[in-house]
Amino acid sequence: MAIFSYTLLGLMFIVMLAIIYFSKQRINNYETRIYGTIIITNIIGQILHLLCFVVIKYIDSIPKLLFYGVTKGYLLYLVSWGILNMVYIFLVSFLDDSNQNREEVVKNGRLLGLIGIIISFSIILLLPISYSNSIEGMYTYGPSVDSVYIISIVIVISCITMIFAKFNKDKIKKYIPIFLFIIIGSLTMLVQRIHPELLLITFVETFVTFLMYFTIENPDVRLIEQLEIAKEQADKANNAKTDFLSNMSHEIRTPLNAIVGFSENLKDENIPESARENVEDIIMASNNLLDIVNGILDISKIEANKLEIINKEYDIKSMIDELIALTKARLGEKPIDFKVNIDPSIPKVLYGDNIRLKQIILNLLTNAAKYTKEGYILFTMSSVIKDDICRLIISVEDSGIGIKQENINKLFSKFERLGVEKEITIEGTGLGLAITKKLVDLMNGKIVVQSVYGRGSKFTIALDQKIVLGKEDVKEETPQELRIIDCSSKKILIVDDNNVNLKVAMRLLRDYKINIETSDSGFDCLNKIKQGNTYDLILMDDMMPKMSGTETFHKLKEDSSFNTPVVILTANAITGMKEKYLSEGFNDYLAKPIDKLALNEVIIKFLEQK
């Protein structure tokens, strides 16, 4: 009876293990497949073992065939469990990660198992079996049972041979349950040979199967390993993408620098009205292209978690004025009534990322202007103040084409353009709102959309900014208007390997009447300084062959008496670049295409007589 209880306990145990194992996510490889089969086989074995007690007990009242079926079925289970383990040992021993002919090894393993099964099954099924149902206990015996002992010994010897033939200490963990089985199993077999009624072998097999759970296959550890590899690969791919985009931005910005620079200059020349219109169109198209390049960069920065929110004090009034001016310029002659409603109680000086806030609002205003043919656009801004926090509530409403209800959810997905396929005249990339949403999230704000298709849309944003108390004004970073100063007594050096870029810079600086010298490489620049030439300012391109602008700058700085301000020029406008260059020691940074106003600020900062 005790044996019966052990077997029942073993069955419950292995069923629990099976539930845990099969309910977990697993990697599908030969180990997991064999282990799954071992568990199932073990459950079948436990059930057959229990049935053996029943059929022997009621031998007189059941058909003989049932007796043979159950008892021989149990013997077949015993050898199958052993053969499965032998195949497992074969694969562990002969497969390693660098294995070129994995498939061949797996095929041989299968063949080994198949041959083992055919031979042992034939022997067990053909040989006779007897039973004992006496006071000493219930058990089976006879040639069929003896053959199981012999087959088991053959299996054990094969396993030991394979383990030692291909011993690999890295795999020792995987062999532990098998070693244990060889020891405990052999002892059990010996005991059973003497006391056949002590049928403990099934329980031992269940115990070994349980141990294997921790050594053959640990789904969690393996899964984490695989996830880590996948993550590493994804990170690599993402970095490669960011690098590619950064290079691409550089490549596109360099020719754009020339296009914008020359067009701006041409506009100031005395040219016929029709030509002027063309030039203005060129400038507008170039600026659109620049917006697209910037949008792609922004998205890749956001995805690589490289976009930072840079908070500082700013004047909200001048930001609003600028936004209104830009929108009016964008609307041009369109029959649209642009209404503005700004709450006068909004504090003047706030603390936050004004550049990104401006980008968010400008995106909404630009969209309203793009997707509205006629009617109105209403731009409102109000505030709710609590302690030193000002919650800005900004909304942009239009009477434009509107958005279908089913498309509202897709609105913030990147590259998603809704229902504008037919309106190919409306330019766009589908990036604007994706960036807007990400920026609002980064600033811990909220954005909501209300829209009626065909009637118009309303985008509302709420986000908190800190109030800077006691300040009525902040210094504007970029002057709103050009202030050309006379620099005829000043001398500057422009270093750039690209001839067209040199020309653009010279044209942009023409009105300041500066004495300009140029240099086409870092070496040439170093030579000029070594020969004793002095300048009031150096504009240095960074991406130059052989010696970069940064390298040239550090070489110049090796001479402690060198104190000419150096401004770096770069087409690499990825976030953090300005900070990077300033930390290298450069006095300022100008992104290409060079913005006239930003250049003006640099000139005033470094060349104005104080």
By CB under 6 A, name the binding residues for ligand ADP.
367-368, 370-371, 398, 400-403, 411, 416-420, 428-434, 457
Report the relative pairing of strands 349-352 and 312-315 from DSSP bridges: antiparallel
Q: How far is the CB of 346 from ligand ADP (least distance, A)?
A: 24
CB of 540 to ligand ADP, least distance (A): 35
Write the CA distances from 317 to 53, 220, 374, integer angstroms.
92, 57, 28
Cα separation, 432 vs 203, whole angstroms = 66
Closest approach of ligand ADP to the CB of residue 419, in Å: 6
**Contact criterion met (CB below 8 Å) for 568 and 448:** no
For residue 599, the tally of other CB atoms under 10 A from its CB is 20
Nearer to ligand ADP, 368 or 543 (CB): 368
**What is the C-alpha to C-alpha distance for residues 539 and 541, in angstroms, rounded to an integer?**
7
Nearer to ligand ADP, 261 or 402 (CB): 402
DSSP 185: I
Phi, psi of 159 (to 5 degrees): -60, -50
Q: How far is the CB of 366 from ligand ADP (least distance, A)?
A: 8
Give me the torsion for CA of 579, 565, 532, 610, rounded to 10°.
Answer: 180
What is the distance between the alpha carbons of residues 608 and 596, in angstroms, rounded to a whole number?
Answer: 17
In the complex with ligand ADP, the residue whose CB is nearer, 80 or 327, is 327
Smallest gap from Cβ 508 to ligand ADP, in A, equals 30
575 in Cβ contact with 301 (< 8 Å): yes
Q: Is the Cβ of residue 164 or residue 415 nearer to ligand ADP in the bound state?
A: 415
The span from the CA of 610 to the CA of 607, in Å, is 9
Nearer to ligand ADP, 417 or 513 (CB): 417
At its nearest, how many Å lie between ligand ADP and the CB of residue 471?
A: 34
CA–CA distance, 152 with 79 (Å, rounded to integer): 7
Least separation, in Å, of the C-beta of 415 and ligand ADP? 8
Considering beta carbons, is residue 174 or 437 the nearer one to ligand ADP? 437
Residue type, 437: K
Q: How far is the CB of 321 from ligand ADP (least distance, A)?
A: 22
Nearer to ligand ADP, 334 or 530 (CB): 334
**Pairing status of strand 537-541 against strand 566-570:** parallel
State the amino acid at position 249 in one-letter form.
S
Cβ 304 to ligand ADP, closest distance in Å? 20
Could you tell me the smallest distance in angstroms from the CB atom of residue 365 to ligand ADP?
9
Q: Contact 361/352 with Cβ under 8 angstroms? A: no
Rounded to an integer, what distance in angstroms lies between the CA atom of residue 596 and that of residue 278?
Answer: 20
Task: Give the residue with the Cβ less far from ligand ADP, 302 or 569.
Answer: 302
Long-range contacts formed by 280-289: CB under 8 A, 24+ apart: 286/256, 286/259, 286/260, 286/593, 287/260, 288/427, 289/252, 289/256
* Measured distance CA(133)–CA(486) in Å, rounded: 119
Q: Which lies closer to ligand ADP via its Cβ, residue 181 or residue 338?
A: 338
For ligand ADP, the closer of residues 177 and 432 by Cβ is: 432
Longest dimension (CA), the chain: 123
- Amino acid occupying residue 571: A
Cβ proximity to ligand ADP, 63 vs 335, nearer residue: 335
- Least CB distance to ligand ADP at residue 298 (A): 12
For strands 130-134 and 137-141, give the pairing: antiparallel
Strands 137-141 and 349-352 come out as unpaired
Q: What is the CA radius of gyration of the chain?
A: 40
CB 3 within 8 A of CB 197: yes
